[in-house]
Amino acid sequence: MTPQTDPCCESDLLPSLGVDHGHCAVVGLQWGDEGKGKVVDLLAGQFGLVVRYNGGANAGHSVQVGDQRYALHLIPSGVLSPNTLNVLGNGVVIDPAQLVKEINELRGKGVAIGDNLRISDRAHLVFEYHKTQDVLYDQAIAAAMGGAAPIGTTGRGIGPCYADKALRSMAIRVGDLLHEETLLDKIGRVVTVKNTVLSALASQCGQPFEPFDPETIFRDTVELTKVLGPHICDTAELLHSSIADGKRLLFEGANATLLDIDHGTYPFVTSSNCSSLGVHTGTGVPGHKVSNVLGIVKAYQTRVGGGPMPTELNDATADRIREVGKEYGTTTGRARRVGWLDLVALKYTATISGATGIALMLMDVLAGLPELKICTGYTHEGKALKNFPADPGVLDNLTPEYETLDGFEQAIEDCRRFDDLPENAKAYIARIEQHVGVPVVMVSVGPRRDQTVLRDV
């Protein structure tokens, strides 16, 4: 069975999106969950390769094809398109147990996983001890700081794995799976040190701690390698030879630009460069090769976990948007925080990620709201801010300036052409383009592939 049956997928979308040549990155411009999976799935058939460059199983891309919904965490969303090669680049952190689970689930739904999946031998591995460390760190630091706001991670071990990558001698790479002796040796050394650190952390948190057994981890990992081994290769070499063969590459961002470790709302971020800037270090493909960046933007704002969110709402409008937009995490099931669209933050992230076009997602969710607010400025201590601030204390205490636009009454999920959209929806889109200076090239009006409006160019 092949899951792709929508005609929308077969037509050539790229000229309408301004992506008619070269390689393209699809990147979230808010705090994640913007709908990148749907866009990558739509475009994948028109690219030879879909490449993940950052993050790990903290990401959750849900893709709906017909009545079937696929929740992907590690495997690129291109897996639902035949003839597309899916690559996990060196910048991804891979939980081998989760990856095997995902492969098995997809196979169970009839999706072919074979030569169409490649995993970088330079990517790093996430183990169970990373997840324990993730949770304990957040708790221990919050306790040590007298109940300071925790980052509220997904608990998938992402931060500790990237930290071990930076520490080097604590890291285990995908390539190590192919050398049992090296793997056994590394697991033995690393787990000994981890047990020391984790037992101290657990005791600080007042929790029991059962030391990890290196032999069990080794045995389990060897079993998982039976599934993963055939997919492991030098993916940088593969990408460059594919480019030389005239293939086109689509880079699939995970998480989003406001969660970027360098440019996001630090420290309330994830541990990778999830802006488009991560494409290059996370795959080995240099900057000048990627000429198009499609920025994925939700028609409102959401955030999961801790950290500042200037336009957050805690009222009946937020509840309504959360319910209609099904704003509950794909990875953790947590209710997402909801707010009005923040154009100050969006202008900043569109600039950092170099967005050449915007795909505006979940526009249908706003239908029926009598008015729509949109944040176009910040003031702090009585002064207008010129830039998006780095300081979380400032972000937490600023006052958003809103413009109020008329809402649109009618449901829009059956709109297929830009001209079919209500005038007030078009005015909302025009205001985004005017403030951010980037064209909105696609509007999503529902989860299905066919519920997509392309801008006539």
Interaction site with ligand IMP (CB under 6 A): 31-33, 58-60, 151-154, 156, 158-159, 255, 259, 268, 270-271, 304-306
- Relative to beta strand 117-120, strand 68-72 is unpaired
Cβ–Cβ < 8 Å for 302, 31:
yes
Q: What is the 3-state secondary structure (H, E, C) of 357-388?
A: EEEEECHHHHCCCCEEEEEEEEEECCEECCCC
Annotated catalytic residue, options 6, 23, 33, 73:
33
Minimum separation from the CB atom of position 312 to ligand IMP (A):
14
Q: Which residue has the tokens 């991804």?
A: 92
Nearer to ligand IMP (CB atom), residue 165 or residue 435: 165
260 has catalytic annotation: no
263 has catalytic annotation: no
Nearer to ligand IMP (CB atom), residue 47 or residue 162: 162
Annotated catalytic residue, options 23, 61, 124, 231:
61
Nearer to ligand IMP (CB atom), residue 264 or residue 446: 264
Q: Give first-to-last CA distance, the chain, whole Å.
A: 36
Nearer to ligand IMP (CB atom), residue 38 or residue 435: 38
Minimum separation from the CB atom of position 423 to ligand IMP (A):
33
Q: In whole angstroms, how far apart are CA 330 and each of 112, 255, 256, 304?
A: 23, 12, 15, 11
Supply 138's token pair: 């957040």
211-220 long-range contacts, CB within 8 A, separation 24+? 212/128, 212/129, 214/187, 214/188, 217/127, 217/128, 217/187, 217/191, 218/183, 218/184, 218/187, 218/188, 220/97
Nearer to ligand IMP (CB atom), residue 225 or residue 255: 255
**What DSSP line would sit under 237-275, residue for residue?**
HHHHHHHHTT--EEEE--S-GGG-TTTSSTTSS-SS--S
Q: Give the residue at shortest CB distance from ligand IMP.
A: 305
Minimum separation from the CB atom of position 158 to ligand IMP (A):
4
Give the list of residues 6+ apart from residue 426 with CB closer than 8 angstroms, or none.
Answer: 418
State how far Cα 339 lies from the chain centre. 19
Report the alpha-carbon distance of residue 307 to residue 328 in Å, rounded: 17
Return the SS3 of 429: helix
Minimum separation from the CB atom of position 330 to ligand IMP (A):
8
State how far Cα 373 lies from the chain centre. 26
Report the alpha-carbon distance of residue 244 to residue 259 in Å, rounded: 33
The residues carrying an active-site annotation are 33, 61
